[in-house]
Amino acid sequence: MIEKPVLIKEDGTRHDGRKSEELRPIRMEVGVLKNADGSALVEFGRTKVIAAVYGPREIHPKHMTLPDRALIRCRYHMAPFSTSERKSPAPSRREVELSKVIREALEATVFTDLYPRTTIDVFIEVLQADGGTRTTGLTAASLALADAGIPMRDLVAAVAVGKVNGVLVLDIDELEDEYGEADMPVAMMPSLGKIVLLQLNGVLTPEEFKKALELAKKGINEIYRLQKEALTKKYLSYPEE
């Protein structure tokens, strides 16, 4: 049997040295792909995700057309080289589910009624997985939508809170996810204070749930600040005509 790793050390820090309420080192870059209308690369520690947005554009197949709004299509996919053992490139049940919940979260923020009879295609490709790929993917997708100039009510920022050795911790990685007691990804439209995704794998008491949500909100506010910084950086460095 594989021994459970020490997730919370004697001094209260986590296996990677972080404090319980600390995010992993985050990097965000907008406009990383030439051929997409909008794109973003987001890293949370070793988790690396790229998002590409195309549209609003004509729909194929035509029968999917919605007369009163744009159709958002979303594909979340893990590259075969993103995990330690090669992952089959075929979409798994997990990837189909994640594509759906991510699409629903994005539908809450995009003003789809501005672009009837069109589609907005969102591609999320996980380049390297170390936990939190759905939240990193969603954070990257909303940056890519903003980069594509698509009007939104707010950005979407997301992070997962976990419970390991009875302690609530922010932004869990794969090891904490695998050996911890609970994993709760949360996505919000931060300035509107609206939750657009909330899942819970594991068990939390009602009290822990409230605390976990507060912790997620704290992380989300910081992620939101970094998103705005990444968008500002791209437009400030735009070459002059």
Residue 130 engages ligand ADP in binding (rule: CB under 6 A)? yes
What lies within 8 Å, CB to CB, of 79 at 6+ separation is 87, 89, 125, 126, 127
Residue from 73, 87, 218, 234 binding ligand ADP (CB under 6 A): 87
Q: How far is the CB of 78 from ligand ADP (least distance, A)?
A: 6
Instruction: Closer to ligand ADP by CB, 174 or 181: give it.
Output: 174
- Nearest-approach distance from CB 89 to ligand ADP, in angstroms: 11
Q: How far is the CB of 155 from ligand ADP (least distance, A)?
A: 19
- Using CB under 6 A, pick the residue from 37, 171, 176, 177 that binds ligand ADP: 177
- CA dihedral (19, 23, 24, 25) positive or negative: negative
| Cβ-based nearer residue to ligand ADP, 69 or 209 | 209
Does 131 help bind ligand ADP (rule: CB under 6 A)?
Answer: yes
Within 199-228, which residues bind ligand ADP (CB under 6 A)? none
How many angstroms from the chain centroid is the CA of residue 223? 10
Task: Evaluate whether 24 touches 223 at the Cβ level (below 8 Å).
Answer: no
Nearer to ligand ADP, 147 or 176 (CB): 176
Q: Is 83 in the site for ligand ADP (CB under 6 A)?
A: yes
180: contact with ligand ADP by CB under 6 A: no
